[in-house]
Amino acid sequence: MNFYPLAGKLIPIFWLLAIVLIGIGLYWGFFKTADILNDQKQYYRIIFVHVASAWMAMWLYGVMVAWAMIGLIFNTRLSYMMASATAVTGTVMTIIALITGAIWGKTSWGTWWDWDPKLTTFLILLFIYIGYLALQSAIDDTRRSDKASALLSLVGLAIVPVIYYAVNCPDPNECASLHQESSLKRVESNILIGMLVTSLGFWAYSFATILMRARNIILERERNTTWVSNLDEVKK
Amino acid sequence: MSDFFHMGGFGVYIWSAMATALVLMLMEPMVLAMKRRSVLADIKRIKRLEERKNRKQ
């Protein structure tokens, strides 16, 4: 297992990147931007964590499915481990996006929740993540649970384009929603910088936590192998 | 400075959104670090038991 020591070396690098990038992104977002933005007052600043976590929630779902697919096609154990390591961080990101979105909704729309297409599909994404994790822990045999949950993640992939088109649909009459379109082109440049840099920081955070979790999963599954018992952290 | 935290009356909303993200993103790595410690402790314990068994034989 060459991956285990490599991941161990990468984790501190990604933590450093995450702290620096999120720090810069939020500094930019809070100190370099105007207080009032069209019809949105200061509360629009929730955007910096809301968009970053929502993007990561969807992106990580794609990453998880990619690992699951590689596992199904090539039957490689490590890719299944990466898929389940990705799922938990994706769930955390989905929860952050939903909670920060509800708070933003309260200030901007006057309601914590609405069964608007974007919000509803995002809630379904959370349920799919939870379903994946539940299925995996429900089957004792690792190889079977890996395969079953990989298939479930593949089926659940259908929700990702639905989330996207829930606000960016070609005919606005067909999908009236409270949630605004994702319109990067119209966003003011200082806000865009804050948003993108924070998102990069969240991306680095995801790398760090996924690698940490992958290392834990490897240790758990390979505990009986000689390479694990020869590890420095086990010998001590 | 207090203006900054007040955020034009929306401070409670903005800072609770930021705090939600902060708390969850601190908890996740903490849980992972605890998990690592417990997995390593388990592996070491089993290794010691096996070594003892081997010595007796």
The pLDDT tens digits for A4-53 are 999 999 999 999 999 999 999 999 988 888 777 766 777 888 889 999 99
- The reported pLDDT for the residue numbered A170 is 62
Chain A with chain B: Cβ pairs closer than 8 A: 81
Euclidean distance between CA atoms A72 and A74, whole angstroms:
6
Give the predicted TM-score (pTM) of the model.
0.91
Mutate to test the interface with B, among A40, A223, A235 (most CBs of B within 10 A): A223
Q: How far is A96 from chain B (nearest CA, A)?
A: 6
The pLDDT tens digits for A74-117 are 999 999 999 999 999 999 999 999 999 999 988 888 889 888 88
- Structure token digits, residue A137: 């822990």
- The reported pLDDT for the residue numbered A182 is 66
Average pLDDT, chain A: 90
- The reported pLDDT for the residue numbered B9 is 76
Q: ipTM, 2 decimals? A: 0.89
Euclidean distance between CA atoms A112 and A102, whole angstroms:
5
- The reported pLDDT for the residue numbered A8 is 94
Kindly give the residue spans of alpha helices, DSSP state H, lying in A75-188. Answer: 77-108, 117-138, 142-156, 159-165
Euclidean distance between CA atoms A27 and A47, whole angstroms:
13
Query: Does any CB of chain B come closer than 8 Å to the CB of residue A50?
Result: yes
| Cβ separation B10–A107 shorter than 8 A | yes
Domain ranges of chain A: 36-223
| Cβ separation A41–B8 shorter than 8 A | yes
Cα A54 to chain centroid, rounded: 7
Sign of CA dihedral A148, A150, A151, A152: positive
> In this structure, are residues A137 and A187 in contact, taking their beta carbons and an 8 Å threshold?
no
> In this structure, are residues A120 and A109 in contact, taking their beta carbons and an 8 Å threshold?
no
- Structure token digits, residue A222: 């390979």
Using alpha carbons, select from A85, A83, A89 the residue that is nearest to residue A71. A83
The pLDDT tens digits for A169-201 are 666 566 666 777 666 667 788 888 999 999 999
Number of helices (H), then strands (E), in chain B: 2, 0
In order along its 57 residues, chain B shows pLDDT tens digits of: 677 877 777 888 889 999 999 999 999 999 999 999 999 999 999 988 988 888 887
The pLDDT tens digits for A107-130 are 888 889 888 888 899 999 999 999
- The reported pLDDT for the residue numbered A72 is 95
Residue bearing tokens 């500094």: A27
Please state, in angstroms and as integers, the Cα–Cα distance from residue A7 to each residue in A22, A61, A145, A195, B33, following that order. 22, 21, 24, 28, 14
- The reported pLDDT for the residue numbered A38 is 67
Using alpha carbons, select from A202, A196, A192 the residue that is nearest to residue A18. A202
To 10 degrees, the CA torsion angle through A197, A200, A201, A202? 120
